[in-house]
Chain A
Amino acid sequence: MKIVKYFALMSFLWVSELLGFELYNSNLVVSENQTVPLMPGQSTIFQTWGYELNFVFSEEKSFNIRNNLKVSLLVKAFSSEETYKNKFLTKFLELYFSTEISRGFFIDVGKFVAKNGTGYFKSPTDFFNMRWNLSKSHRRYSEENLNEGMVAIKKEIFLNNLWNVQLLFSPRVCWDTVKYKILSYISSPQEKSQFFVSFSGLKFKSIDTKLLMLYKEQLYFGINWNLTRGNSLELHGDFSISESIKNTVVDLISKGDTAEFLVQGKSVKWPIKALIGCVYTFSDQSTFIVEYSYNGRGVGGSEYDNIMKYTQQQFWLFHSTDAFSVLESYGIAELACHYFFERFYHEIKTEKIYMEFMNLTNLQDLSGIFFSRFGKRTNTSDLSVGLQMFYGGKDSEYGILPTNWKMTVEAEFIIF
């Protein structure tokens, strides 16, 4: 029966655009799109599929709708009491109306994704999408379907072929989530209102720049830039600063012969975040990317050690995902001050086979994530297998995670 159910889903997937599986052997999945509370030794498979519609009424008016339906299948692979649980989740990720009021003046209303920044794995100026972005390299639906848009109104003005101004207002949108469950299919609650402005067009020789400002209870400023040198080199950088960020820290309090951990908030004033990177292209069009990221809110020294000790203790005591709450409060690649990223991509063009190898390293404790992917492309499909591995000591940012590896299989079919 389970198999029938499974293949019934599969047949539906074949007529839609994208099929993705992810297989984990962990008890905690640290991923931007989900946190499945599995116990040690378990695995999970989940599938994603989605579609994107873009109705163009005229050259000026278009109606965009993107819906995503995600299914999680939980499989207890190593348990004697085998259980099988399906979890369906569907939500509109983008749903907005766009119109050109006058020549070069656009208004978007609805729910949409707004992206900024030049960084490959993480962009300090991507204010609306500050989460993990290692899957960005796939540049396929899986990347975007993880990003839920926000309810907002955006005005965009193109003054000429250089200058562009964007003004965005996203209101606070909250409701009784228990009483009005149906609204969860359309949007997640938005706790805070946001006002965003960006200017692009300022050029220094051939350097593109973009200035950004966000007000979300406090001010955030950012600038990003990029340029190319010769035929093979692209250089880019992001810089941002905000009034303050609240970190969760752990203090060790002595009580007689024993010591207790005390979790509390600590404000970091004017934290700077910066990223600098380059893309080098070889003559066979293989590319090599390196990026260095400085994270001004990152912790170090005893604060860093205490967070690790606390997390280890909590996991040992309670064996639950709650143990990682302090780590999770930072998000991925936000705990330490220094990170380094590399990616190599190569394609055998005659066979349409591609491969990529990525590595993210926390330079403070030398733990990290290694990711490799192999894929085959045709004119209408793309099939790939990826493996993500976490490494580092048991008291390091990535070594402490109980996730050992994560395998991803994705198939994209373009039908229409």
Chain B
Amino acid sequence: MQRIGLILSAIIIIQGNLYSEITGDYILKKIDEIRKVGDSFAFEMEISSFSDESTLVDKYTIQGYVKIDKDQNVKTLVYFTDPKIIRGRKMLMEGNNVWILFPRTRNIIRLSPLQVLLGEVSNCDIAKISFSVDYNAEIIGEEVIDGKELYKLLLKVKEGREGCTYSEIILMVEKKTFIPVAAEFYTGAGKLIKKVWYDKVKEIYGKLRPMRITLYDGINPEKFTIMEYKKIKKLSIPDFYFNKEYLPRFTPPSLD
């Protein structure tokens, strides 16, 4: 009798744990596992911005070198490889702090976040890897889009993490895989900044990850920018590479 009681209470605890696991914050952590390949990795990305469906305004190819410390702060070193006229441009991003070194110059310049925009892409879109560090999430609904069952999450920025973030995000996540499908980014005043679609899911280092992110302007939805990962590689990167004074010396390690 005592044994049956123990088994029953164990079942209740397990069920309770299972139920409590599927929270907004739990889903965010799962999404973060998909978004980050490791604590130190590199990628090659193409960024194409369009003024409308048929007009390409700019196209950049960048290599990014990412390091995430134990407090989940992300530092990203970006090297522009294309177009040729800006090849060699280097950028260091750490939250809202951005430093740039232009090719054939020696002065490291600090930039305000607005100066970093490439089409609809901000420094945060490139450098932010983790949602769970900056946001609290709650499930506000469930939807079915294209036959996929999705969670609808409301992300609100945590106190003290207002730097390189959007105030609110509505995020649609696939129930089975926790792969993000779409998002809407809002200001504190509730103004829509951009709409985002995630697609081209591919298996990288044992996990399915969306390789293409399309960002639509919140005011003029005709304007959009596509960020597409071409390569992702785990890479050990020394800490001092993320020192702004290192920018002139930085030569991008190979991604092949």
Contact = CB atoms under 8 A, between A and B. Distances in A.
A237 to B, nearest CB: 12
A332 to B, nearest CB: 18
A231 interface: yes
A236 B110 contact: yes
Contact of B114 (A139, A206, A283): A283
B217 to A, nearest CB: 12
Interface stretch (B8-16, B98-106, B141-149): B98-106
A271 B146 CA distance: 72
B13 to A, nearest CB: 44
Interface string A145-158: 00000000000101
Interface in B221-256: 238-246, 249, 251, 253
Interface in B103-150: 104-107, 110-115, 117
A104 B237 CA distance: 12
A382 B85 contact: yes
A47 B246 CA distance: 33
A161 B242 contact: yes
Contacts of B57: 349-350
A52 B239 CA distance: 29
A276 to B, nearest CB: 15
B238 A103 contact: yes
B97 interface: yes
A410 B162 CA distance: 43
Contact of B240 (A160, A234, A283, A379): A160
A362 interface: no
B21 interface: no
A144 B114 contact: no
Contacts of A159: 240
B55 interface: yes
Contacts of B244: 200, 208
A134 B220 CA distance: 37
B85 A143 contact: no
Given A231-B113, A231-B114, A233-B112, A380 B84 contact: yes
Interface in A43-63: 52, 56, 59, 62
B110 A161 contact: no
Nearest to A278: B112
B216 to A, nearest CB: 17
Given A228-B110, A234-B110, A281-B115, A158 B240 contact: yes
A227 B163 CA distance: 14
A287 B115 contact: yes
A162 interface: yes
Nearest to A206: B97
Given A104-B238, A144-B104, A349-B58, A285 B117 contact: yes
B78 to A, nearest CB: 15
Contact of B85 (A59, A232, A380): A380
Given A104-B238, A104-B240, A349-B57, A379 B84 contact: yes
Contact of A115 (B106, B112, B243): B106
Judged by DSSP, the binding face of B is mixed
Contact of A381 (B85, B98, B102, B110): B85
Contacts of A103: 238, 240
A162 B97 CA distance: 13
Nearest to B105: A139
A63 to B, nearest CB: 12
Contacts of B251: 56, 59, 62
Nearest to A149: B106
A191 to B, nearest CB: 23
B245 A164 contact: yes
B97 to A, nearest CB: 6
Given A56-B251, A103-B238, A161 B243 contact: yes
Interface string B46-71: 00000100010110000000000000
A175 to B, nearest CB: 27
Given A98-B249, A380-B83, A285 B238 contact: no
A140 interface: yes
Contacts of A412: 85
Given A232-B112, A285-B114, A115 B83 contact: no
B97 A228 contact: yes
B209 interface: no
A228 B96 contact: yes
A161 B58 contact: no
Contacts of A283: 114
A294 interface: no
Contacts of B30: none
B75 interface: yes
Max chain B CB contacts within 10 Å: which of A118, A156, A228?
A: A228
Contacts of B98: 228
Nearest to A380: B84
Given A159-B240, A230-B112, 18 more contacts: A52-B104, A98-B249, A103-B240, A104-B240, A139-B105, A158-B246, A161-B243, A163-B243, A164-B243, A200-B244, A201-B243, A234-B110, A234-B111, A281-B114, A281-B115, A287-B115, A377-B85, A379-B83
21 contacts: A140-B104, A143-B104, A144-B105, A158-B240, A160-B240, A161-B239, A161-B243, A164-B246, A208-B110, A228-B97, A229-B112, A231-B96, A232-B114, A281-B115, A285-B115, A349-B57, A379-B82, A379-B84, A381-B85, A414-B85, A414-B87
Interface of A: 52, 56, 59, 62, 98, 103-104, 106, 113-115, 117-118, 136, 139-141, 143-144, 156, 158-164, 166, 200-201, 206, 208, 226-234, 236, 279, 281-283, 285, 287, 349-350, 377-382, 412, 414
Closest 4 CB pairs of A and B: A158-B240, A379-B83, A115-B106, A164-B245
